[in-house]
């Protein structure tokens, strides 16, 4: 559709005069704003620590390791949080789990709170909702070693915050989390179609996921199937 002149608003470039070129009008306007704030001074004072601040719901504070319904640590030592951490502040050592419903658990779990940037990527990456950030903000210590939170200290934060109302356990999917709901993964087809006369198609390879679905030979057939579905 062509654009008509009535649909366009033409803005002419303002002409800068002598006074505008000296920047004196802009300085005067800035001083007026400063004087207005000085004469109408209304400070907002919070008497911390006697009065605790009201934090937003999305505030990210001290970490915690969640427990499952049996009081065990939810973490399965998959290393996803340590891999996603941009500050490289999470150290995990996995071991064979003493329980039958999982393969691994963290024998050692440590977070360097001084190095952490509290981005929340660890709790986003965790497949079993084992690690979460709480509303605890008054994080202090006399030495750097005191700011290294090990597994027992992180579990202690969970015991301290789970019943406060500010940091409830967010998910209860499955015994361990959402990843524990998958008992059997569905079969998948290769991402690309393979011609029958290709050498790679003659022998089975461990890098190919075998499946029953047949991939279309071209993107046109995909569009045809989409049109038929409509």
Which pLDDT value is given to residue 113?
94
Q: Is residue 130 part of a domain?
A: yes
Q: Is residue 212 part of a domain?
A: no
Domain span holding position 98: 63-179
Residues 165 and 135: beta-carbon distance below 8 Å: no
Which pLDDT value is given to residue 213?
36
Residues 74 and 67: beta-carbon distance below 8 Å: yes
Residues 108 and 91: beta-carbon distance below 8 Å: yes
Which pLDDT value is given to residue 166?
76
Q: Is residue 218 part of a domain?
A: no
Domain of 85: which CATH number?
3.30.70.3270
Instruction: Say how far apart CA 110 and CA 180 lie, in whole Å.
Output: 24
Q: Is residue 29 part of a domain?
A: no
User: What are 16's two structure tokens?
Assistant: 């800068």
Q: Is residue 195 part of a domain?
A: no
Total number of domains in the chain: 1
Closest to 90 (Cα-Cα) out of 105, 71, 77: 77
Q: What is the pTM of this model?
A: 0.58
Residues 67 and 73: beta-carbon distance below 8 Å: yes
Task: Give the contacts of 167 (CB within 8 A, at least 6 positions apart).
Answer: 64, 132, 134, 135, 161
pLDDT, mean of each 10-residue run, the chain (230 residues):
71 86 93 91 84 85 92 93 95 93 93 94 92 90 93 94 78 51 48 54 44 39 45
3-state secondary structure of 218: coil
Q: Is residue 18 part of a domain?
A: no
């Amino acid at each position: 559709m062509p654009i008509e002149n009535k649909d366009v608003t033409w803005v002419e470039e303002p002409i800068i005069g002598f006074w505008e070129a000296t920047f004196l009008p802009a300085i005067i306007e800035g001083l007026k704003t400063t004087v207005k704030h000085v004469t109408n001074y209304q400070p907002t004072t919070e008497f911390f620590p006697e009065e605790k601040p009201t934090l937003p719901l999305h505030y990210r504070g001290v970490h915690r390791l969640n427990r499952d319904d049996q009081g065990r640590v939810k973490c399965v030592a998959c290393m996803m949080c340590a891999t996603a951490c941009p500050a490289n502040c999470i150290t995990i050592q996995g071991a064979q789990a003493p329980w039958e419903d999982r393969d691994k658990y963290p024998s050692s779990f440590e977070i360097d709170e001084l190095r952490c940037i509290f981005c929340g990527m660890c709790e986003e990456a965790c497949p079993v909702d084992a690690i979460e950030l709480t509303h605890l903000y008054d994080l202090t210590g006399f030495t750097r070693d005191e700011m290294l939170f090990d597994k027992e200290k992180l579990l202690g934060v969970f015991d301290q915050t789970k019943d406060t109302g500010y940091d409830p356990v967010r998910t209860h999917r499955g015994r361990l989390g959402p990843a524990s709901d998958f008992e059997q993964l569905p079969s998948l087809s290769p991402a690309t179609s393979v011609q029958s006369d290709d050498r790679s198609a003659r022998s089975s390879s461990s890098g190919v996921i075998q499946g029953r679905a047949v991939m279309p030979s071209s993107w046109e057939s995909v569009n045809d199937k989409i049109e038929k579905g409509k």
